[in-house]
Amino acid sequence: MEVRNCRGCGRLFNYLQGQQMCPACMADLEDKFQSVKEFLRENPKAPLNVIAEKNDVSVKQIKQWVREERLTFTEESQITLECEACGGKVLTGRFCDKCRTSLQNEFSSAYKRPTATLTPKKNTNGKDKMRFLDN
């Protein structure tokens, strides 16, 4: 069995597939997710830092949930994330509607195009490369 450090509390836990945190932290995060969701429903115009502060979560975590499409901001919300392709306004997910559509088109039509700048990369965080450079 594989043991890893929990991303949340740093304690060792029995690593299960794809799990970054110990069961206690996972449950804790799920609680927070629910309260953020609830908070957003009651305060759709609350800025990101207020949501984070009131619910004791990091702004980064909230953005993460949006990227995972678990949280969606409404049109009336002041909060926007940037489209990873064009930098435009995104309410949920990683790409704006426009880019999402063109990405889908790109996939279905031209498989390889020299100017395919919107092709999503498998590894977008570039962590492996950075670790390599650090060494």
Q: Where along the sequence are the contacts to Zn ion (CB under 5 A)?
A: 6, 8-9, 22, 25, 83, 85-86, 88, 96, 99
The backbone torsions φ and ψ at residue 34, rounded to the nearest 5 degrees and listed phi first, read -65, -40
Residue closer to Zn ion by CB (options 50, 107) is 107
By the 8 A CB rule, do 30 and 55 touch? no
CB of 102 to Zn ion, least distance (A): 8
Which residue reads 């498989």 in tokens?
111
Using the minimum distance from each CB to Zn ion, give the nearer residue, 88 or 93. 88
- Nearest distance from residue 15's CB to Zn ion, in Å? 12
Q: CA dist 64 to 44, 92, 133, Å? A: 18, 10, 26
Nearer to Zn ion, 6 or 81 (CB): 6
Of the pair 38, 56, the CB lying nearest Zn ion is at: 56
CB of 115 to Zn ion, least distance (A): 16
Cβ at position 5, least distance to Zn ion in Å: 9
Q: Which residues pair with 95 in a beta bridge?
A: none
H/E element, 14: strand 12-14
